[in-house]
A and B are shown apart, each in its own frame.
Chain A
Amino acid sequence: MSTVRRWWRGLSDGLREFYVAPYRRTFARAQREEDDLFTLIVLSEALGVPNPASYYTIELLPLLHERVHEWHTRMGMDRSPLENVACC
């Protein structure tokens, strides 16, 4: 019985890889775009962009700190655009 179960699990894993692999990149890009938008909204206060939700998003700034470097390099900026967030 355990052999059948192992075989079934192996089959399911192989099929999942077959299902996921061709679109892994597309999903990752969509995720990155969403993250970038979120990052921009949270950082908008510091960047001087009007943000109607700053009362809520400002609390998230410390949480984003570690992701800022990845974000600004992806946006085509070699250096951090924020004086108080000097990541590199």
Chain B
Amino acid sequence: MNSLLLAVIGIAMVLGGYFLYSKYLASRVYRLDPEYATPAHTMNDGVDYVPTNKFVLWGHHFTSVAGAAPIVGPAVAVIWGWLPAFLWVTIGTVFFAGMHDMGALWASARNRGQSMGMLSGRYIGARGRSLFLVVIFLLLLMVNAAFATVIKNLLIATPTAVIPTWGAIVVAIVVGQMIYRWRMNLALTTVIGVVALYALILLGDAVPIELPEGSAAPFWLTILFLYAGVASLLPVHVLLQPRDYINGVQLFIALGILYGAVLLASPAVVAPAVNQNLPEGTPSLVPLLFVTIACGAISGFHGMVSSGTSSKQLDKETDARFVGYFGAVGEGLLALGSIIAATAGFATLANWEEVYAEFGAGGVGAFVSGGATIVNAGLGIPAGLSATILATTAILFAATTMDTGVRLSRFVVQEAGELMGLRVNKIVGTVVAVGVAMGITFSMGAGGDGGLQVIWPLFGTTNQLLASLTLAVIAVILLRRKRNALPALVPLVFVLIMSVYALIVQLSAFATNGQWLQLVLDVIILVASLWVAFEAAVAMVKAWRGPEVTDDTEPAPASSSAGGSED
């Protein structure tokens, strides 16, 4: 199989989904109405609720949902061969992620822009809301541990990325100063920021920084957690905001470089379509594939973004199709790029098998090395420099998610403290959030392997659980309105079954290997999954048996403070 052909087929499938299936969803299922007054207009406060141009909103939505996960998941999952990963990413994007993200936008916009947590309480019940908070807490715990390990692995495997990784922090701080203090033109600032970032990449490529083998992993992990803790405590305009912005711009540049190189080089995919020669210890494709690739096929995190911020900025209800569904298409294309890089960027099958010698060994490292070969062949950029560019891109994604993850975890710790009658200050909250994530990361030794090989599938399962809750809310709303709920019910049932199946498979593995921390997490997620299934079923039966609800008969949702988001 030629990678260009694979890319063309993949792009055609997801674009076909956008032009055909999303049109059906928009007109027949969600019945998007261009005349409907969205919360951005009815509740316009110039802060949360602001009507926004759909292209700008798409850019904001896409960069909020895109992170390192659609790169890591598919790059790990190609161990079963490129075909299963390709099919799950494309079909998942078209029938699962697109309808989920667009549905979350629609459901939130029809309910005063309320968040999925609030909607779970409204449509599934009070227990549904509690469940939502539990799942989010678990997701945040795991995202910090998993992404710290991703970054550590990349810094060790690609020492040329060390200088641009840490230098990007200085670039972001300077960009923030240029915008707020010196009031410079943003387009000019963007150009200067991107040029500075690429100058650092060139410098890093010339001056690789390698640490002694034994101490590199614990050193980088400790520094990363310290950095994330400090970054989450700084005012957002100093570091996080300019960092998010530069990373967002870099995302588009990196996608352009990767797809441009595939177009020009069109290398052959050396990995098998379905891998019959699986390394020992590789879990079975069903169900693990469906939790290994979460972002890129379907991700509950997107529902949080859709209902947390994007729905409050929808200018017209019909924009939900472009912002929500096409946002999922963008994420699918990122995952597709990762599959191509991790399967076509090797000279021979033997080289590929060398990298994919055990489950979890390929991953983002294979994306970087494979992608670098393709970029080198397509655009003529030296392979080493290409690897530095891709490694830096992946690190920046993961680091941005980690910054936000630690900050949100701190809020959760502070809120939990308040519920127990304790006043937890910012520093203590951050120490607790960082400490727990570090505990998970170092749970399998100083190398920090507990953060990825074991946590990644659990992270995927939790993400799918969150997606199931969102799909359940959408299904209940559709059933109440006596519309076709199958587009939500089929993905819901499939994702929930695969998540529970994966948890049971992992449970026995954790028990056998004596991984007690992971075992406890697995049991909590399993109980939450069964709970979701039960609560969703009860709510859906009630909605199905109840009278038809229309816009006129639907009671107004309770008002929510500060936009009703958990943020």
Measured between beta carbons, the chain B residues less than 8 angstroms from A15 are 186-187, 190
Known contacts: A11-B187, A25-B563. The answer to whether A18 contacts B245 by CB under 8 A is yes
| B187 A8 Cβ-Cβ under 8 A | yes
A15 to B179, CA, bound (A): 12
Residue of B nearest to A31 (CB): B47
Report if B8 contacts A (CB, 8 A). Answer: no
Report if B155 contacts A (CB, 8 A). Answer: no
Known contacts: A15-B187, A18-B59, A19-B179. The answer to whether A25 contacts B567 by CB under 8 A is yes
The size bracket of the interface on A is 10 to 19
Measured between beta carbons, the chain B residues less than 8 angstroms from A16 are 186
| B64 A28 Cβ-Cβ under 8 A | no
Dominant secondary structure of chain A at its interface with chain B: helix
Report if A48 contacts B (CB, 8 A). Answer: no
| B56 A28 Cβ-Cβ under 8 A | no
Measured between beta carbons, the chain A residues less than 8 angstroms from B563 are 25
Report if B425 contacts A (CB, 8 A). Answer: no
Binds A, one of B160-168, B236-244, B319-327: B236-244
Residue of B nearest to A28 (CB): B47
Contact of A29 among B52, B60, B562 (CB under 8 A): B562
Report if A24 contacts B (CB, 8 A). Answer: yes
Measured between beta carbons, the chain A residues less than 8 angstroms from B535 are none
Report if A49 contacts B (CB, 8 A). Answer: no
Known contacts: A25-B47, A25-B567, A28-B47. The answer to whether A17 contacts B245 by CB under 8 A is no
| A24 B50 Cβ-Cβ under 8 A | yes
Q: Which of A28-46 contact B (CB under 8 A)?
A: 28-30
Residue of A17, A19, A26 contacting most chain B CB atoms (<10 Å)? A19
| B179 A23 Cβ-Cβ under 8 A | no
Known contacts: A12-B185, A19-B186. The answer to whether A27 contacts B237 by CB under 8 A is yes
Known contacts: A18-B248, A19-B241. The answer to whether A24 contacts B47 by CB under 8 A is yes
Known contacts: A17-B52, A21-B60, A22-B60. The answer to whether A12 contacts B237 by CB under 8 A is no
CB of B423, distance to nearest CB on chain A (Å): 16
Report if B393 contacts A (CB, 8 A). Answer: no
| B48 A25 Cβ-Cβ under 8 A | yes
Report if B306 contacts A (CB, 8 A). Answer: no
| B313 A21 Cβ-Cβ under 8 A | yes
Report if B53 contacts A (CB, 8 A). Answer: yes
Contact of A24 among B48, B53, B240 (CB under 8 A): B48
Measured between beta carbons, the chain B residues less than 8 angstroms from A50 are none
Q: By the criterion of a CB under 8 Å from any partner CB, how many residues of chain B are at the interface?
A: 31
A29 to B55, CA, bound (A): 26
A11 to B59, CA, bound (A): 13
Contact of B309 among A8, A11, A25, A28 (CB under 8 A): A25
Report if A62 contacts B (CB, 8 A). Answer: no
Residue of A nearest to B190 (CB): A15
A15 to B190, CA, bound (A): 9
Report if A14 contacts B (CB, 8 A). Answer: yes
| A23 B241 Cβ-Cβ under 8 A | yes
| A22 B186 Cβ-Cβ under 8 A | no
| A17 B241 Cβ-Cβ under 8 A | no
| B244 A22 Cβ-Cβ under 8 A | yes
CB of B301, distance to nearest CB on chain A (Å): 15
CB of B332, distance to nearest CB on chain A (Å): 22
Measured between beta carbons, the chain B residues less than 8 angstroms from A30 are 235
A24 to B187, CA, bound (A): 19
Residue of B nearest to A20 (CB): B241
A28 to B563, CA, bound (A): 12
Q: Which of B100-128 contact A (CB under 8 A)?
A: none
Measured between beta carbons, the chain B residues less than 8 angstroms from A18 are 56, 59-60, 63, 245, 248
Measured between beta carbons, the chain A residues less than 8 angstroms from B240 are 23
Measured between beta carbons, the chain B residues less than 8 angstroms from A24 are 47-48, 50
| B56 A21 Cβ-Cβ under 8 A | yes
Measured between beta carbons, the chain A residues less than 8 angstroms from B313 are 21
Residue of B nearest to A16 (CB): B186
A17 to B567, CA, bound (A): 20
Chain A residues with CB under 8 Å of chain B are: 8, 11-12, 14-19, 21-30
Chain B residues with CB under 8 Å of chain A are: 47-48, 50, 52-53, 55-57, 59-60, 63-64, 179, 185-187, 190, 235-237, 240-241, 244-245, 248, 309, 313, 562-563, 565, 567
Q: What are some 27 contacts across the A-B interface (CB < 8 A)? A: A8-B187, A14-B53, A15-B186, A17-B53, A17-B60, A18-B56, A18-B60, A18-B63, A19-B245, A21-B50, A21-B56, A21-B60, A21-B309, A21-B313, A23-B241, A23-B244, A24-B48, A24-B50, A25-B48, A25-B309, A25-B562, A25-B565, A26-B236, A26-B567, A27-B236, A27-B237, A28-B48
Other A-B contacts than A12-B185, A19-B241, A23-B236, 19 sampled, CB-CB below 8 A, are A14-B53, A14-B56, A15-B187, A15-B190, A17-B60, A18-B56, A18-B59, A18-B60, A19-B186, A19-B245, A21-B60, A22-B241, A23-B237, A23-B244, A25-B48, A25-B567, A26-B236, A28-B47, A30-B235
Give me the 4 closest cross-chain CB pairs, A-B, nearest first. Answer: A28-B47, A12-B187, A15-B186, A17-B56
